[in-house]
C-alpha cells in the first residue's frame, strides 16, 4: 500500500496567498462569464421581459421571490398564503434588493449566476489543503460549468440550488482543513457553515448526517484516539439538530471556550462523551425521520400516499412518479450531467477512488457522490451533488497523467501543456451544452401581464385555481392564494386540482368551492358533510344536491396554453383517476395529442397509427375503424377574436377531434375529456354562463371567475 501511495503522490504545488486569491478571482470570473451566454441569447426578445428585465427560467424561484416581495412590503402574512417571508433565500434577496442599485427583477435574475459561481472557492480550498493548487483550479473551472451544475445555477435559475452545493462543499473544505490543522477555530467554521447550510437548505440534513457518520468511521479506523475529530462531529450534529438557533450558538460558544480553556486535558474522555451527546441530541430532535423519508420517496419510490383520519384512510397518487426530475435516467445521461461526457465521467470516478487511496480523508465526500449516484434510480435532480467531487477526481487523474508523462519524457512544460489540453477537452462538451441550452423563461410577457391584471381585480384573500406547476407564478404576479404549488404537490393536494380541471363544469365548480373552504383537504369536507365514503362525496359534487359553503372569497380559474403545449393534461387527470378509498386506478380517458401531422385531400394522418377520413368521419387505428362524433376547428383572426367551426358526423359516438388551427395542435379525445373544464373553457371557450364568467381571455392564458 505504501508503494501505491508513493505512486499516487503528486509533487507539492504551493503558491503564495496572493497568487491563490488570483486563482479564485480568475475561476470565479470564468464561471460568471459563461453564465452570461444565456443572457446574450435572450437580451433582445421583448416577449419574455417584465419591468425591462428578462423573466427568470425556474418556476420554483417565484416562491422565494414572493417571500422577498412580501418582506420588502413589510412582511405582511395572511392565513394559508404560504409566503416564505422567513426563508433564507427570500431574506437574502430582500436585503440584496435594498442594498444594491438594481431592480428586484434584476436581482432575482442574476443572483443564481453570482452565488452559484462561488462553488470555485471551496474546491480551490480543498486543492490548497492538499498542496495541489493546479488540481484545485482545474476542478473549480470544470465543476462550475458541468452540465448538471450549470443547469441549476445558470442565470435566471433563481432557487435554493444556487447555494445548495456551494455550502456543503464549504463544510467539506472546512472538515478537510480542520483534520489537517487541528485548530479550534476550524470547529467554529465547521459549525457555522453547517448552520448556514441548514438555514439555506433544510433538506441537506441527510448529507450532513451521512458526512458525520463517514467522519466517525474514518476516525475509528485511521485516528481512533484523536479527540479533535469527535469535536468536529459534535459541531456538525449540533448544527443540524432541531433546536433554536440561539441555543446552537450558545452551545458552540460554551464548547469552544471549554476546548480553549482545557486544551487536550480531557480528550481521552471526550472521545466517548462527545459522539454520544451529539447523537442523543439528534435523536431527540429530528432523528432519522428526514433520512428515512427521502429513502422512501427516491429509492423505494412509493407510488401511493395515504392520508389518514380518525375513521378511514384515503389513497392518492404520488406526484414523484410524474415529475421528470424524479424519474430514472439512463447511464449516458447520468454520466453527461455529472462530467459532460461518459469518458471524463469514467476518468473522474477512477480519479476520485485513487484520491481516496492517497488522501483517505477525501472519503468524507462519499455522501455527495452517493447522492449523485442515486440519480440512476431517484432522478436527474441529484446528479448535481456529484459534480464538484467528480471534478476533483478528474483533476487528480489529470495531474497523475501529467506526472507520468513527465517521468517518461522530461520535456520542459510538458505537464502544463498536457493539463491545458486535457482540461480543454473536458470543458468542450460542457461549453457546447451551455451554448445550446436555451432554457426559456417560465412565463411570457403576455402571461405575466394577464396575471398582473388579475392582481388589480382580485382580493389578496381570493383563490386562483390551476395546476400546481403554476402556483408560485400565480402567487407572485397576482398576490392571491392557491391550493397547489411546487411545495404542495402531494397526491391529496393534487386530487382536487385534478378533479376541477378534468371533470365537467358543474363538478369542477362545486369542488372549487369545497376545496378552497377546506384548503384542499378532502377528509375534512367528508367529516363536515358526514360522508364515510369519499366516492359518495365526489358523486354529490357532480350534482346540485350538495349544499355548498357560503361564499367568503372569490375563486378564479387560471388556464394557460402551457398545459396543452407541455402535454400534461393526461398527467393532471391521473391524480383524480383513482378510487381514493381503495387506491385502484380507473381506466384512463382517451386524449391523444399531436402537433406534427400530415393532411391530404381525403385524410388527416395523425401518427401512431391514427388516421381520420374527412368525408366519412371514420378514424382508423392500425386497421381498425371507429366513428367520430365531431371535428371541431378552432382559431383566432387578426384581431385575436376566437372562432370555431363544427363538422358533425355521428352523434352517438364518444370520440371527438379538435383542431386548434392557430396553435397547430390536434387533439383526439373521448367524451369525458371533451366535457372537462379545461377543454370546454380553454380550448372551446364554451363555458356555462351560470357558473363562470371570463375575466381575462387571450390565446395564451384564459382566466375565469366562479360565480357561485
Q: How far apart are CA 49 and CA 144, in angstroms?
A: 27
Q: Which domains does the chain have, with CATH numbers?
A: 34-436 (no CATH), 460-585 (3.40.1380.40), 591-706 (no CATH)
In contact, 287 and 201? CB cutoff 8 Å: no
Instruction: Give per-residue pLDDT as tens, 175-225.
Output: 999 999 999 899 999 999 999 999 999 888 889 989 999 999 999 899 888
Q: Which of 100-104, 319-323, 413-417 has the highest mean pLDDT?
A: 100-104
Q: How far apart are CA 133 and CA 12, in angstroms?
A: 9
- Check residue 667 and give its pLDDT: 94
Give the closest residue to 680 by CA, choosing from 559, 583, 527: 559
Backbone angles phi, psi at 489, to 5 degrees: -135, 30
Contacts of 530 (CB under 8 A, 6+ apart): none
Q: Give Cα separations from 583 to 313, 316, 534, 575, 578 (angstroms).
A: 10, 7, 12, 11, 6
Outline where 35-160 has alpha helix (H). 36-42, 61-72, 88-99, 104-116, 120-129, 133-145, 147-151
- Check residue 308 and give its pLDDT: 43
Count the helices and strands in the chain (H runs, E runs). 33, 20
In contact, 677 and 661? CB cutoff 8 Å: no
Query: Which of 142-156, 169-183, 385-399, 602-616 is least confident?
Result: 602-616
Instruction: Give per-residue pLDDT as tens, 247-260.
Output: 999 989 998 888 88
Query: What is the rounded average pLDDT of the residues 22-29?
Result: 98
- What DSSP string runs through 410-433? --TTHHHHHHHHHHHHHHHHHHHH
Q: Does the pLDDT of residue 264 top 80, yes or no?
A: no
Give the strand pairing for 555-560 and 463-465. parallel
Q: How far apart are CA 309 and CA 330, in angstroms?
A: 40
Express as a percent the part of the chain with pLDDT over 70: 93
Cell numbers linked to 340: 459532460
Per the model's pLDDT, the better-predicted residue between 460 and 114 turns out to be 114
Question: What is the residue-averaged pLDDT of the chain?
Answer: 90
Instruction: Give per-residue pLDDT as tens, 285-318.
Output: 766 666 666 665 555 555 444 444 444 578 887 6
Q: Note the Cα 703 to chain centre separation in Å.
A: 27
- Check residue 80 and give its pLDDT: 61
Q: Does the pLDDT of residue 325 top 60, yes or no?
A: no
Give the closest residue to 9 by CA, choosing from 128, 122, 130, 126: 130
pLDDT band at 7 (very low <50, low <70, confident <90, very high): confident
Give the closest residue to 58 by CA, choosing from 164, 145, 201, 160: 160
Give the closest residue to 468 by CA, choosing from 443, 507, 496: 496
Instruction: Give per-residue pLDDT as tens, 561-586.
Output: 999 999 999 999 999 999 999 889 99
- Terminal-to-terminal C-alpha distance of the chain: 78
- Check residue 132 and give its pLDDT: 95
Contacts of 61 (CB under 8 A, 6+ apart): 108, 157, 158, 159, 442, 472
Per the model's pLDDT, the better-predicted residue between 595 and 33 turns out to be 33
- What DSSP string runs through 190-250? HHHHHHHHHHH-GGGHHHHHHHHHHHHHHHHHH-TT-HHHHHHHHHHHHHHSSS-HHHHHH
Q: Does the pLDDT of residue 162 top 70, yes or no?
A: yes
Q: Note the Cα 123 to chain centre separation in Å.
A: 24
Q: How far apart are CA 708 and CA 588, in angstroms?
A: 30
Per the model's pLDDT, the better-predicted residue between 598 and 477 turns out to be 477
- What DSSP string runs through 30-64? HHHHHTHHHHHHHTT-GGGEETTEEPPS-TTHHHH
Amino acid at each position: 500500500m505504501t508503494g501505491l501511495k508513493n505512486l499516487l503522490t503528486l509533487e507539492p504545488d504551493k503558491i503564495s496567498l496572493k497568487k491563490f486569491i488570483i486563482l479564485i478571482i480568475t475561476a470565479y470570473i470564468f464561471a460568471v462569464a459563461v453564465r452570461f451566454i444565456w443572457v446574450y441569447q435572450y437580451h433582445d426578445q421583448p416577449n419574455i421581459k417584465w419591468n425591462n428585465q428578462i423573466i427568470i427560467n425556474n418556476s420554483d424561484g417565484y416562491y422565494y421571490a414572493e417571500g422577498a416581495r412580501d418582506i420588502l412590503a413589510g412582511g405582511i402574512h395572511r392565513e394559508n398564503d404560504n409566503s416564505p417571508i422567513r426563508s433564507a433565500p427570500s431574506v437574502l434577496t430582500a436585503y440584496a434588493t435594498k442594498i444594491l442599485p438594481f431592480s428586484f427583477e434584476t436581482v432575482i435574475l442574476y443572483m443564481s449566476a453570482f452565488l452559484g459561481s462561488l462553488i470555485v472557492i471551496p474546491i480551490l480550498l480543498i486543492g490548497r489543503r492538499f498542496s495541489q493548487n493546479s488540481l484545485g483550479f482545474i476542478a473549480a473551472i470544470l465543476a462550475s460549468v458541468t452540465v448538471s451544475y450549470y443547469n441549476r445555477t445558470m442565470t435566471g435559475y433563481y432557487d435554493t440550488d444556487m447555494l445548495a452545493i456551494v455550502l456543503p462543499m464549504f463544510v467539506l473544505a472546512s472538515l478537510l482543513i480542520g483534520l489537517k490543522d487541528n485548530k479550534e477555530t476550524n470547529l467554529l467554521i465547521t459549525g457555522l457553515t453547517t448552520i448556514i447550510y441548514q438555514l439555506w437548505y433544510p433538506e441537506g440534513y441527510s448529507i450532513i448526517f451521512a458526512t458525520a457518520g463517514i467522519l466517525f468511521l474514518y476516525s475509528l479506523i485511521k485516528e481512533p484516539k484523536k479527540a479533535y475529530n469527535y469535536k468536529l462531529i459534535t459541531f456538525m450534529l449540533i448544527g443540524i439538530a432541531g433546536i433554536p438557533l440561539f441555543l446552537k450558538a450558545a452551545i458552540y460558544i460554551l464548547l469552544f471556550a471549554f476546548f480553549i480553556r482545557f486544551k487536550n486535558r480531557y480528550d481521552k474522555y471526550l472521545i466517548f462523551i462527545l459522539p454520544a451527546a451529539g447523537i442523543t441530541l439528534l435523536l431527540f430532535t429530528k432523528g432519522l425521520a428526514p433520512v428515512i423519508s427521502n429513502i422512501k420517496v427516491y429509492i423505494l419510490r412509493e407510488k401511493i400516499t395515504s392520508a389518514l383520519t380518525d375513521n378511514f384512510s384515503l389513497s392518492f397518487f404520488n406526484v414523484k412518479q410524474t415529475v421528470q426530475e424524479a424519474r430514472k435516467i439512463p447511464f449516458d445521461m447520468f454520466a453527461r450531467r455529472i462530467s459532460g461526457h461518459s469518458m471524463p465521467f469514467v476518468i473522474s470516478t477512477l480519479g476520485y477512488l485513487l484520491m481516496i487511496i492517497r488522501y483517505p480523508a477525501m472519503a468524507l465526500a462519499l455522501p455527495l457522490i452517493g447522492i449523485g449516484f442515486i440519480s440512476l434510480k431517484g432522478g436527474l435532480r441529484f446528479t448535481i451533488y456529484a459534480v464538484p467531487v467528480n471534478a476533483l477526481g478528474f483533476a487528480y487523474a489529470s495531474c497523475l497523467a501529467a506526472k507520468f508523462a513527465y517521468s517518461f519524457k522530461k520535456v520542459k512544460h510538458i505537464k502544463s501543456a498536457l493539463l491545458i489540453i486535457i482540461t480543454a477537452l473536458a470543458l468542450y462538451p460542457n461549453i457546447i451544452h451551455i451554448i445550446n441550452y436555451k432554457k426559456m423563461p417560465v412565463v411570457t410577457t403576455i402571461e405575466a401581464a394577464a396575471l398582473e391584471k388579475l392582481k388589480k381585480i382580485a382580493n389578496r384573500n381570493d383563490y386562483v385555481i390551476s395546476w400546481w406547476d403554476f402556483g408560485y407564478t400565480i402567487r407572485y404576479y397576482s398576490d392571491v392564494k392557491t391550493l397547489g404549488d411546487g411545495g404542495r404537490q402531494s397526491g391529496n393536494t393534487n386530487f382536487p386540482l385534478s378533479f376541477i380541471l378534468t371533470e365537467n363544469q358543474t363538478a369542477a365548480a362545486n369542488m372549487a368551492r369545497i376545496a378552497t373552504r377546506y384548503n384542499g383537504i378532502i377528509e375534512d369536507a367528508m367529516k363536515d358533510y358526514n360522508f364515510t365514503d369519499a366516492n359518495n362525496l365526489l358523486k354529490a359534487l357532480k350534482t346540485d344536491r350538495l349544499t355548498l359553503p357560503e361564499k367568503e372569497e372569490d375563486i378564479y380559474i387560471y388556464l394557460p396554453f402551457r398545459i396543452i403545449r407541455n402535454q400534461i393534461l393526461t398527467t393532471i387527470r391521473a391524480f383524480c383517476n383513482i378510487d381514493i378509498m381503495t387506491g385502484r386506478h380507473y381506466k384512463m380517458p382517451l386524449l391523444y395529442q399531436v402537433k406534427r401531422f400530415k393532411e391530404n385531400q381525403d385524410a388527416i394522418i395523425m401518427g401512431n397509427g391514427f388516421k381520420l377520413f374527412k368525408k366519412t368521419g371514420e378514424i382508423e387505428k392500425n386497421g381498425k375503424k371507429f366513428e367520430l362524433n365531431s371535428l371541431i376547428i378552432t382559431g383566432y383572426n387578426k384581431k385575436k377574436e376566437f372562432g370555431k367551426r363544427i363538422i358533425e358526423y355521428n352523434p352517438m359516438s364518444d370520440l371527438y377531434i379538435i383542431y386548434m388551427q392557430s396553435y397547430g395542435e390536434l387533439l383526439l379525445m373521448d367524451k369525458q375529456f371533451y366535457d372537462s373544464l379545461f377543454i370546454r373553457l380553454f380550448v372551446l371557450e364554451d363555458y356555462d354562463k351560470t357558473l363562470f364568467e371570463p375575466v381575462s381571455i387571450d390565446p395564451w392564458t384564459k382566466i375565469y371567475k366562479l360565480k357561485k
